[in-house]
Structure 1
Amino acid sequence: MTQRHIRREAVSDQLFALLRDRILGGELAPGSALTAERDLAAEYGVNRHAVREAVKRLQQARLVEVSHGGRTLVQDWRRTAGLDLAVGIAAADAGPSVEDLARDALEMRACIGADAARLCAIRCSELAAAQIVEATGRYARSGPDLAELGAADVAWWRLIVEGSGNVAYLLAFNSLVDGALPVAEVPGALRTGELLDVDAHVRLAGHIAAREAEAAELLARELLSRSVPAVLRKAVR
């Protein structure tokens, strides 16, 4: 029988997750003082080093802030936190649901994709435009298997986002496709209207190659927005 080693999660990681969930769930309200370090250590039965590490991560996530008086105050995460917190929200037992976050991520994806297509049509090199057109042909040959189409779609959109020359869009794209956001967990069956429309992909690549920025933006937004209503319908059921 093969011996399996289970990775033990650090105590500070567990404490961070517990405190994060209390903040996201509203149990620790914005503006309130976080429990003192020694009291947190006693409450959770951990050492003070673990508490300091957990609080440090809360600071890095902009969930808490150390005031001039030395107190650690809870922040309003909706005003202070960044996209990196989305990973925590998806895993948390409190705060927005995974379904809501998936909808929000798909809406953001449509906005970023539309503007990336516009910028790509303006900024990308002739070589990059040719690569997008070539990749469209590979995309067309990937169907009708949805898993294959999904993988080809990610590779195709990566070329467009890279061609936009916008590093912020590229980093957001990476978060959307590497599992950091729950959009990656949306079943392919809910995205058939988008994935199976090979003609729209071909036309979008043509708009980019022809430097038709406005047409590229409009078509990209329409194409990517098709998956949002599907997720909304699922969430309502």
Structure 2
Amino acid sequence: MPKASRPLARSGNLVSLEPLQQRQGRERVAMEARRYMPPTHKTISRDISEQLIRRITNGAYPIGSKLPTERLLAEEFGVGRHVIREALKRLDALGLVRIRQGSGIFVRDLELTAGIELFDVLLTGEDGEVNLKFLRDVLEFRDHTIQLVVRLAAARRTEEHVVQMRKLVKERRKALTDMRCLETVTTELYRVVADASDNHIFALMFNTMGRILFKLRREFDVPILGLEQAQDLLERIVEAIEQKDPDMAALLAMRHAGALRQALFADGTVGRSDFQQMP
């Protein structure tokens, strides 16, 4: 089986995590990213709905229980009943409650009805701190999915896919100082890799989870591991895909994921810090 032309690591580790570089990269990229992020305008009803969602997810309102009436909620939050009604409609749209006219509002089974729409709410608590358990779950799902996608892409890619990937990684390197252009090029690169896997479900999954993948990348991967290292990783994965080396492609993705988890959970990097809500 052909191997990628470069060795797996230059100095024993795929990713070097020097504390100084880590801090400087985090501050620089977070500041640059915020320049291109539209401000988040959260309505009062949305804020209330998120608080109610957290109460449902943490068990304060158990499955099958009846929520307080609109009047009681309005008194608790100090708002009009129309604001509470709007917040409850959002919970209903998310599948978290069932509104029974004349009977009340009842909590549904989160495991059966909730979807990826809850990502933003579940990732942070009311105090703004990151929910580490949920973050671990998300990263674990993402990392295993990416490993499978790049493995399949390496086995099934066409020459056309390779040409597109090589063009995009070159464009991406040129765009490292332009965050908006960088995300556009990276999005297209991810789409090409997903398409190269020749699995329609992965392509559909990218359409559904693309926003979340980029939020994770922007808030954690890039600030912690750095733009240059992320670029180097993508170039080497594309090289492994071009060489039709599924094992190398998956290994590179796995080593990147391991380095990120170590940085996040071993040294207390994650916290309130500069975490942003996606618009």
TM-score normalised by L of structure 2: 0.62
Quote the residue 2:88 is aligned against: 55
What are the Cα deviations for residues 105-153 of structure 1, in whole angstroms up to 9, with x where unaligned? 332221221122133235544322211123344556778x8x89x8676
Quick one: which amino acid aligns to residue 20 of structure 1?
A: I
Shift of 1:176: 1.8
Partners of 1:33 and 1:120 lie apart in 2 by 48
Work out whether residues 221 and 260 of structure 2, in 8 Å CA contact, stay in contact via their aligned partners in 1. no
**One-letter amino acid matched to 1:169:** F
Q: Could you say if the C-alpha distance between residues 169 and 225 of structure 1 is closer, same or farther in structure 2, counting changes exceeding 3 Å?
A: farther
Which one is further off, 99-108 or 15-24? Answer: 99-108
Q: In the alignment, is residue 188 of structure 1 matched against residue 222 of structure 2?
A: yes
Distance between the aligned counterparts of 2:47 and 2:163, measured in 1? 48
- TM-aligned CA deviation for residue 77 of structure 1: 3.2
Structure 1 residues 120-159: aligned runs within 5 Å: 120-138=153-171, 156-159=189-192
The answer for unaligned runs of 5 or more in structure 2 is 1-38, 271-279
Q: Distance in 1 between matches of 2:156 and 2:50?
A: 42
Q: 1:133 to 1:16 in 2, by over 3 A?
A: same
Give 1:161's aligned amino acid: A
Matched, 1:87 2:99: no
Over 3 Å counting, the alpha-carbon distance change for 1:156 and 1:10 in structure 2 is closer
Query: Partner of 2:19 in structure 1?
Result: none
Residue from 197, 200, 206 that aligns with 1:169: 206
Identify if the C-alpha distance between structure 1 residues 215 and 103 changes in structure 2 by more than 3 Å, giving closer, same or farther: same
Question: Which of residues 5, 9, 17 in structure 1 aligns to 2:50?
Answer: 17
Counterpart amino acid of residue 72 in structure 1: I
Give the secondary-structure state (helix, strand or coil) at the position aligned to 2:106: strand
**Contact map agreement 1:194 1:227 (CA 8 A) in 2:** no
Contact kept, 8 Å, 1:107 with 1:228, in 2: the verdict is no
The separation in 1 between residues aligned to 2:144 and 2:74, in whole angstroms, is 44
The 2-side partners of 1:162 and 1:234 are apart by 36
Q: Which runs of 5 or more structure 1 residues have no equivalent in the other structure?
A: 1-5
TM-score, structure 1 as length reference: 0.71
Q: Find the partner of 1:233 among 226, 247, 266.
A: 266
Q: Tell me, in whole angstroms, the C-alpha distance in 2 between the residues paired with 1:29 and 1:48.
A: 23
Judging changes above 3 Å, is the alpha-carbon distance between structure 1 residues 62 and 28 closer, same or farther for their aligned structure 2 residues? same
Which of 108, 132, 136 is equivalent to 1:75?
108
Please, what is the CA RMSD of the aligned residues?
4.0
Deviation at 1:87, TM superposition (A): 0.8
Verify: 1:219 aligned to 2:257, yes or no.
Answer: no
Q: 1:216 to 1:236 in 2, by over 3 A?
A: closer
Query: Which residue of structure 2 lines up, in the alignment, with residue 3 of structure 1?
Result: none
Task: Give the Cα–Cα distance (whole angstroms) in 2 for the partners of residues 63 and 231 of structure 1.
Answer: 31
Rounded Cα–Cα distance in structure 2 between residues aligned with 1:48 and 1:76: 26
Q: State how far apart, in whole Å, the 2-side matches of 1:140 and 1:9 are.
A: 35
Distance 2:99 2:159 in 1: 51
1:161–1:173 CA distance, 2 compared to 1 (3 A): farther
Identity %: 25
Query: Quick one: distance in 2 between partners of 1:140 and 1:122?
Result: 25
Q: Deviations over 1:178-204 (max 9, x none)?
A: x3xx55322635325992683x54442
